[in-house]
Structure 1
């Protein structure tokens, strides 16, 4: 089949760090069109792009109409990429071109499979389906309704919940990565890249990273959360919630949720949210504490054969 082409008049170039604002606005407009609210934050991109191992120029392409970034794609490594097309530019073949571009890049890096999350029933979902992408897993953005709270769960004797200190950082990284790698399809994130997305994230405050320590004072559970402005208020978003395997079923995750949601409300949040997916088996846990799905995302992927 012939390679897809971009519409006349559009240009392309690799992204640079100063594009963060433009790409954020692009993704936000796509999310508003697809799920009714923008979930993305500009700092998500800044923290991702500042990871020491990440080569933004070598892993991304922006599509421009004049000076405006109207579409982009970036290869996150291994089997994952992200992409967006401004709703006003849909139906012009740009998404098909982006998919071909990133597949070629991933194939050249040795990837055998490639995929990305798309809102269920969205234009991106329909496009990837037409391009032969199949669903690998389902994700949900869950919210705690305004005015609701998670029921408190007392910690077992000897366990302590507190804000993390720099001395905890290596244990925070270890506990979180160990927990996520039980189901995630990726290599272990380096300590330096983890730091770039957690305590080096723009605007980081001590309450954003809370831990539970066991009687031996070792970190055994972690929550990373922050307040984010939304289209209709302020939301406390939990980016990471992890409990060491040998300390589960003790209520540690619930205690951390209570703590970070309360800290967020004290600082002006009116809602609370997090995301989970079908690989973790955690959906029912969050529903039991009163959280409800706000949007459904499908991770669609395609095998990369030889060209």
Structure 2
């Protein structure tokens, strides 16, 4: 379904790889309006769209005013979708039309429902609530403010933190997936998708994949750092995981502190990450001095 019920003068079509910049522009404008800053990066879109398991021709829709994109929707995973409408084009039924397309697309793909993250209390949050979407979980963006001292965390004897070697990337992926699938209801991500979205992400550098090893040299914990240059250089911890049998030894805190420190070595003035109510990890991040900033909700609906 590529044609939506839209106001006169607007058109819709499936997207192509050449639309990544336009998608970023719309999403960034919406975030700037809703939370006063831009968190999405063009690299997020490029890396997501590079996954072998994902098909841009069946998973996306764009809304256009002439040649200008003013809204878009995409099904990014088996139960997740993302959408945005440029603030200049709100209250015209575009968001409702895109939501309808997303529900139909999930149904066509054999899914039973999907959810979308939106800033709590934002126009998008209110629209989805009106359309019958329930809150699945809350998410918090936490920051380590500029200039705040990072408290050292000592590792147990025999453990060490370093950058992952290229031949260890599959193990890095396994540790993350094993940990995240303890609470996330989704299929296991393939290594090919991990490689495309992490190693293939624009700006990736080997030092960004941090690992903690035990006395035998085996990887038992991981942290993935993304460097975001705008508006100031920021180190964002995209994923943090510790093997189940290695928890409660301070490894996660040590990894987090290491990630912050390496980010600062590479020019970061701020450090941040996000977590949600499924993980129970909020207290961990507050213990190392992080402060809650923006609050998001994941609203979902069955199809």
TM over 0.5: yes
Residue in structure 2 matched with residue 267 of structure 1 by the alignment? 266
Aligned equivalents of 2:197 and 2:90: distance in 1? 31
Correspondence 1:30-69 to 2 at 5 A: 30-69=30-69
- Secondary structure at 1:302 match in 2: strand
Aligned equivalents of 1:149 and 1:249: distance in 2? 23
Aligned equivalents of 1:263 and 1:78: distance in 2? 34
Aligned equivalents of 1:43 and 1:288: distance in 2? 30
Aligned equivalents of 1:51 and 1:160: distance in 2? 32
Deviation track 1:188-240 (CA, whole Å, cap 9, x = no partner) reads 00000011111221121121111011112111100100210233x11111111
Residue 299 of structure 2 corresponds to residue 300 of structure 1: yes
Residue in structure 1 matched with residue 239 of structure 2 by the alignment? 240
- Secondary structure at 1:198 match in 2: helix
Aligned equivalents of 1:114 and 1:54: distance in 2? 16
Residue in structure 1 matched with residue 197 of structure 2 by the alignment? 197
Residue in structure 2 matched with residue 154 of structure 1 by the alignment? 154
Aligned equivalents of 1:151 and 1:53: distance in 2? 40
- Secondary structure at 2:48 match in 1: helix
Deviation track 1:110-157 (CA, whole Å, cap 9, x = no partner) reads 222221011000000000000001101000111011111331111111
- Secondary structure at 1:11 match in 2: strand
Deviation track 1:19-77 (CA, whole Å, cap 9, x = no partner) reads 11111111111111111110001000111000111101110001111111110000123
Aligned equivalents of 1:201 and 1:105: distance in 2? 27
Aligned equivalents of 2:136 and 2:259: distance in 1? 31
Contact 2:236/2:272 (8 A) holds in 1: yes
Please report how far the alpha carbon of residue 270 of structure 1 lies from its aligned counterpart in structure 2 after TM superposition: 1.0
- TM-aligned CA distance change 1:119 to 1:276, over 3 Å: same
Aligned equivalents of 2:226 and 2:45: distance in 1? 15
Contact 1:152/1:254 (8 A) holds in 2: no
Residue in structure 2 matched with residue 216 of structure 1 by the alignment? 216
- Secondary structure at 1:39 match in 2: coil
Aligned equivalents of 1:197 and 1:250: distance in 2? 30
TM-score by length of 1: 0.95
Residue in structure 2 matched with residue 253 of structure 1 by the alignment? 252
- Secondary structure at 1:76 match in 2: strand
Residue in structure 2 matched with residue 188 of structure 1 by the alignment? 188
Please report how far the alpha carbon of residue 106 of structure 1 lies from its aligned counterpart in structure 2 after TM superposition: 0.5
Please report how far the alpha carbon of residue 4 of structure 1 lies from its aligned counterpart in structure 2 after TM superposition: 7.4
Where structure 1 has 5 or more consecutive residues not aligned to the other structure, the ranges are none
Contact 1:4/1:96 (8 A) holds in 2: no
Aligned equivalents of 1:77 and 1:106: distance in 2? 10
The two structures, once aligned, show a CA RMSD in angstroms of: 1.3
Residue in structure 2 matched with residue 286 of structure 1 by the alignment? 285
Aligned equivalents of 1:91 and 1:191: distance in 2? 41
Aligned equivalents of 1:122 and 1:29: distance in 2? 13
Where structure 2 has 5 or more consecutive residues not aligned to the other structure, the ranges are none
Correspondence 1:139-178 to 2 at 5 A: 139-178=139-178
Contact 1:26/1:84 (8 A) holds in 2: yes
Please report how far the alpha carbon of residue 289 of structure 1 lies from its aligned counterpart in structure 2 after TM superposition: 1.1
Aligned equivalents of 2:267 and 2:211: distance in 1? 22
- Secondary structure at 1:224 match in 2: strand
Residue in structure 1 matched with residue 91 of structure 2 by the alignment? 91
Aligned equivalents of 1:35 and 1:118: distance in 2? 10
Aligned equivalents of 1:77 and 1:158: distance in 2? 39
